[in-house]
Amino acid sequence: MNSRFFTLTAVLLVGSLLQAPATSQVLGASEDRSIQESVSEWLPSRTAWGDPNLQGVYTFSTTTPLERPEALADKETYTEAELAELERQAALRITTERDAVLTQAEFGTEIVAYNNYWTSNEKGRLTERTSLIVNPVDGRKPPLTEQARRIQQEIAAELATRQVGESPFVYTLYDTWEDHPLFTRCLARPMPRIGQSYNHGLQILQTPGHVVIYYESMHDARIIPLDGSPHLDPSIRQWNGTSRGHWEGDILVIDWRNFTDRQNFQGSPQGNMRFVERLKKIDANTISYEVTVHDPATWTEPWTFVAPWRGDDPSFQNPEDLYEFACHEGNYRMMENSLNGSRALRETYAMPK
């Protein structure tokens, strides 16, 4: 038994001691249950105490975009032939970029950034759908509210004041550590995890009365009680919010809220956001992960996406393993280099601080 199991178990036990006294709590069902109901009745194994067994190591990597490309209009799904061609093109891109990286490394001709050969995003499998979003039916997020548009415009305008250069070489200047987003400071990653370019792994661990979802990126562990205990007081906000779950048949339903506004999701502060997750094992290697997003201050209506969590994805060289995520809080070397580089760029472009 490896050390990761003991680490997660220890975290779970400590978390369970800190839970508030249990009270009754009933969550409403997700607004869009069509995806879960359309799945054929494959029965998962059971834990020793009788819950559906979701345990294992999975990846949420997929090349299916969150939103349906506008060019595909009302096309909801691909044919088998179209899927095969898209997968062939993805494999070709990986091979081409691998060869380019190896050539550049051999001759020392250029320093390049991450590309699809090094990240697992391109290696993830497509779904048959043209978008992860299933509601609204057009496969796209609903319109932003006027308030949300104004906030996103303010964020973009502030960023523009710290950018120099011309496409494709546009550089962002950092004059203080506070100019960096939480992502590059290695403080937190947006939740739920979608559209991430690498470290897509996660592990699910279950004990009687609790489920733990442990993410490879940022080594975050969500401890989810199933005993009806209440959420924390709304005045207490956390990077990863608070989660409370229950079973509806073979589906694990999780109510997720109490986020901090210092974290963004899809470009907007997520302090008022609430997510209803529905996890169902649909075959021996796959969990259907459905999330309905609620935030009337940001979007004009709730929206739902469905993504596969796969235990046999080719982006995992060893599906039973997760990689160590070694980005420490503050990301010191990145911070030092970016501040020094920003000073040099200001001199090059004769920009006052």
The SS3 assignment for 96 reads: helix
pLDDT-based confidence at residue 67 (cuts at 50, 70, 90):
very high
Q: Which CATH number do you get for residue 211?
A: 2.40.128.20
In a domain, residue 47? The reply is yes
pLDDT > 70 fraction of the chain, expressed in percent and rounded: 78
- Which residue range forms the structural domain that includes residue 195? 3-16+34-64+140-348
In a domain, residue 116? The reply is no
- Mean pLDDT, the chain, rounded, equals 82
What local confidence, expressed as pLDDT, does residue 321 receive?
Answer: 73
Q: In the chain, how many domains are there?
A: 1
Strands 242-248 and 56-59: unpaired
In a domain, residue 128? The reply is no
Q: How many residues does the structure list for the chain?
A: 353
Q: Is the dihedral of CA 127, 133, 139, 140 positive or negative?
A: negative
pLDDT of 151 higher than 90: yes
- Percentage helix, strand, coil, to 5, in the chain? 25, 25, 50
**pLDDT per residue as tens digits for the range 271-318:** 999 999 999 999 999 999 999 999 999 999 999 999 999 988 665 556
**pLDDT per residue as tens digits for the range 194-222:** 877 778 889 999 999 999 999 998 889 99
What local confidence, expressed as pLDDT, does residue 4 receive?
Answer: 43
In a domain, residue 108? The reply is no
What local confidence, expressed as pLDDT, does residue 113 receive?
Answer: 57
In a domain, residue 231? The reply is yes
- Dihedral, 109, 197, 220, 255 alpha carbons, nearest 10: 170
In a domain, residue 247? The reply is yes
In a domain, residue 146? The reply is yes
Backbone angles phi, psi at 192, to 5 degrees: -65, 160
In a domain, residue 156? The reply is yes
Whether this model's pTM surpasses 0.85: no
pLDDT-based confidence at residue 169 (cuts at 50, 70, 90):
confident
Region 41-51 average pLDDT? 90
- Dihedral, 189, 190, 192, 193 alpha carbons, nearest 10: -50
What local confidence, expressed as pLDDT, does residue 22 receive?
Answer: 35
Who has greater pLDDT, 226 or 346? 226
What local confidence, expressed as pLDDT, does residue 315 receive?
Answer: 56
